[in-house]
Chains A and B, each alone.
Chain A
Amino acid sequence: MIPRAVLALACLAVAATGLAAPRPGTVGPPGKAAVDTCLDCHRSLDETRLSQPAEQAATDIHRLQGITCAGCHGGDPRAEDPEAAMNPALGFVGAIAPTAVPALCSSCHSDPSFMLRYAPNIPTDQAAQYATSRHGLALAKGDTRVATCTSCHGAHGVLPADDARSPVYPSRIVATCGRCHADAALMRAYGISGNEVADYQQSVHYAALTQKNDLSAPTCNDCHGSHGATPPGVSSVSNVCGTCHLTQRELFDLSPHKEAFASIEQPACETCHGNHAVHTPDDTWIGVGKDQVCGNCHVADDPGGQVAAQLAARLTGANSAIAATRERVARAERAGMLMDEALVQLEEAHQALVLARNQVHAAALAPLARETGSVLAAAAKADRLAQAAEDEIRFRRTGLAVSLVVILLAAVALLLKTRSLER
């Protein structure tokens, strides 16, 4: 059954535009830029609102693929006479109402056989998804402040989503969503704080995206969806985070926290990590003290608080061992020693520490203690190698001192010998 909202949206759009599919003659063959008279006139108009679309069309993917202005606005793209070009009898509608935009775009983008000719690699279910989104549902109720297709993709200078200049390119999405979602006054009407964008911009995900250029780092649409944008519910947060953080999710699902969180309607991951302002996790978070996440539910004396204290102690010990050994190995390296084997051991210790940190999600001491034991063992090996290197350095320095003394003595002896021969 087609949802009522989708039907309402479609009816609203069709009534507003009268457009269902591009009329013959308004769409050219793919791969050949459209030539139409609309652009010739509009470029020379004084009113920016009328000339700007024609200028933006220069790089528009639709125009470059043969879609004329009339493909969306109706009219005759070949007529020289403005009246004939903008003839309502030929479907000319001028500016498209926001409520009509999804249906207009989907008249092509939801038609698989049409899209196959132009862009066979992009999906054709965007309109169906949009209709289920918060944006689509609100638009169906007549709320024209919500985002439609053009709000994110642009109207006249539309670029492919994989073009780095596109407003829906991963590194630009937060700014695109932020045009509305960072507006606290606008968001208040929807019960949204408006801080989400600022929070996200402090997150490790945003840093990965913008500083490391890691395009796989999640931005708004990766958790909320693109066309079907909606906030993930309490039960689906772990699924969203678990898309990338699979191991942590699996361990969490086996932990006593899964059921406990569900019983008090707390979302899995964000209870400890936050949602938009997800910071790089730190071992100091574990515990029941001030600013420590376990203290949200546990106290020092309860079993959970005691386990947290032990987890924290093990991790602190492992961290300290690695830090001290790394410093010792670095000192030996600075002294000119080749410390490859010790560095390999330190890498092993680091890897075991990463695995130990994963085990925090299981909230059990034994598996974490096993991994921290591996950390300590590898760090101890590296430490012994660093000790051997330090011994070697001492031996070499002692040898150098002895050599210098001997050389000095040789010089003195030579001097004395020279004098004795001169006599």
Chain B
Amino acid sequence: MAANETEATVGRRTFINWLLGTSLGATLAAALYPMLRFVIPPEVGESPTNRVLAGKLSELPPNTGRVFRFGAKPGILLRTPSGEVRAFSAICTHLNCTVQYRPDFQHLWCACHNGHYDLQGKNIAGPPPRPLEAFKVDVVGDDIFVTKGA
């Protein structure tokens, strides 16, 4: 009887040790996994920030523009015919379409309802009721950084 009890005790302890080891190991893994996912950049886009690298100066010749993203929202970077770099929200103030730079007009234009904005982002023709929101532009070397709300 005593031998049986000893065997049962040893078996139970072995099981408890196994359970403790594996569950603690799994708990540790459950804690480490999110940390690892946090350290490794996720596949989804970054969350909205107030400052983004909007483009390269060398890729933006005078009298051109390009749309970039502030999170889910579009911005537009433009270089005036005289070479100045400016950035605005690309969301048309009429019905939220995305505006574009028209080299032939030499200003910003919205395709949806033919809205026109000048190089200061001011609404000058068509239905847009307000100017485009202006962003701050910093050129660092060849990089163009755009800051919102500055």
Q: Nearest chain A CB to B7's CB is how many angstroms away?
A: 15
Task: Report how far A417 CA is from B125 CA in the complex, Å.
Answer: 79
Q: Which residues of A contact B129 (CB under 8 A)?
A: 208, 212, 214-217
Task: Render A399-412 as a binary contact track against B, CB cut-off 8 A, 1 for contact.
Answer: 10011001101101
Whole-angstrom distance between the Cβ of B71 and the nearest chain A Cβ = 5
Q: Which residues of A contact B16 (CB under 8 A)?
A: 413, 416-417, 420
Q: With both chains docked as a complex, state the minimum distance between the C-beta of B48 and any C-beta of chain A, in angstroms.
A: 7
B contact residues, range? 35 or more
Whole-angstrom distance between the alpha carbons of A239 and B54 in the complex? Answer: 40
Determine if B19 and A351 form an interchain contact, defined as CB atoms under 8 angstroms apart. no
Given contacts A212-B129, A245-B113, A410-B20, contact A338 B47 (CB under 8 A): yes
Say whether B139 faces chain A, with CB atoms less than 8 Å apart: no
Which B residues are in CB contact (< 8 Å) with A339? Answer: 72
A121 to B24, CA, bound (A): 82
- A406 touching B126 by the CB < 8 A rule? no
Instruction: Give CA–CA (A347, B98) in the complex, Å.
Output: 8
Q: Are B69's CB and A358's CB within 8 A?
A: no
Chain B residues closer than 8 Å to A402, beta-carbon distance: 30
Q: How far is the CB of B131 from chain A (nearest CB, A)?
A: 11
CB pair B27 A407 closer than 8 Å = yes
Q: Is B12 an interface residue (CB 8 A)?
A: yes
Known: A343-B72, A413-B20. A403 touches B27 (CB 8 A): yes
Closest to B33 in A: A399
**Complex interface: chain B residues within 8 A of A351 (CB):** 96-98, 112
Q: Which residues of B contact A337 (CB under 8 A)?
A: 44
Q: Which of B72, B97, B127 contacts A340 (CB 8 A)?
A: B72
User: Is B130 an interface residue when CB atoms closer than 8 A count as contact?
Assistant: yes
CA distance A387 to B120 in the complex (A): 41
In this complex, how many residues of chain A approach chain B with their Cβ under 8 Å: the count is 38
Q: List which B70-121 residues lie within 8 A (CB) of chain A.
A: 71-72, 74, 95-98, 111-114
Nearest chain B residue, comparing its CB with the CB of A248? B113
User: Which residues of A, 223-257, contact B by the 8 Å Cβ criterion?
Assistant: 244-248, 250
Q: Per a CB cutoff under 8 Å, which of A217, A250, A358, A420 touches B112? A: A358
Q: Which residue of A lies closest to B12 (CB)?
A: A420
Task: State the CA gap A399–B27 with chains docked (Å).
Answer: 12
Asked if B13 is at the interface (CB within 8 A of a chain A CB), the reply is: yes
**Closest residue to A209 on the B side, CB-wise?**
B129
Q: Give the one of A247, A343, A414 with max B CB within 10 A.
A: A247
**A344 at the A/B interface (Cβ < 8 Å)?**
yes
Contacts of B69 in A (CB 8 A): 340, 344
Tell me, rounded to whole Å, the shortest Cβ–Cβ distance linking B9 to chain A.
Answer: 8
Report how far A19 CA is from B20 CA in the complex, Å: 108
Q: Are A347 and B12 in contact (CB under 8 A)?
A: no
Residue B126 contacts which of A208, A246, A354 (CB distance < 8 angstroms)?
A246
**Bound form: Cα–Cα A340–B74 in Å:** 11
Please measure, in the bound complex, the distance between the C-alpha atom of A414 and the C-alpha atom of B19, giving whole angstroms: 9
Once A246-B114, A407-B30 are accepted as A-B contacts, the answer to whether A338 and B45 lie under 8 Å apart by CB is: yes
Most chain B CB atoms below 10 A, which of A248, A351, A412, A417 = A351
Q: Which residues of B contact A358 (CB under 8 A)?
A: 112-113
Question: Does B64 make an interface contact (CB < 8 A)?
Answer: no
Asked if A62 is at the interface of the complex by the 8 Å CB criterion, the answer is no
Of A337, A355, A410, most B-chain CB atoms within 10 Å: A410
B4 CB to closest chain A CB (Å) equals 17
Are the C-beta atoms of B98 and A412 separated by less than 8 Å? no
Chain A: which residue is nearest B96 at the CB level?
A350
Q: Whole-angstrom distance from the CB of A70 to the nearest CB of chain B? A: 43
**A183 interfacial contact with B, CB 8 Å:** no
User: Complex Cα distance A406/B23, Å?
Assistant: 5
B50 at the interface (CB under 8 A from A): no
Q: Cα distance A338–B97 when bound, in Å?
A: 22
Q: Which residue of B lies closest to A400 (CB)?
A: B30
- B30 and A414: CB pair below 8 A? no
Contacts of B96 in A (CB 8 A): 347, 350-351
Within 8 A of B (CB), among A346-362: 347, 350-351, 354-355, 358
* Residues of the B chain whose Cβ atoms lie less than 8 Å from the Cβ of A413: 16, 19-20, 23-24
Contact of B27 among A246, A406, A412, A420 (CB under 8 A): A406
Report A-chain residues with C-beta under 8 Å of the C-beta of B130. Answer: 214
A347-B98, A407-B27 as given contacts; A247 in contact with B13, CB under 8 Å: no
**Shortest Cβ distance from A343 into chain B, in angstroms?**
4
Q: Sample 17 A-B pairs with CB under 8 A, ordered by A number.
A: A244-B126, A246-B114, A247-B113, A341-B72, A347-B74, A402-B30, A403-B27, A407-B23, A409-B19, A410-B23, A410-B24, A410-B27, A416-B20, A417-B17, A420-B9, A420-B12, A420-B16
Interface residues of B (CB under 8 A from A): 9, 12-13, 16-17, 19-20, 23-24, 26-27, 30, 33, 44-45, 47-48, 69, 71-72, 74, 95-98, 111-114, 123, 125-130
Which 3 A-B pairs give the minimum distances between C-beta atoms?
A: A410-B23, A343-B72, A214-B129
Given contact pairs A340-B48, A341-B44, enumerate 4 new A-B contacts (beta carbons under 8 Å).
A217-B129, A246-B113, A406-B26, A406-B30
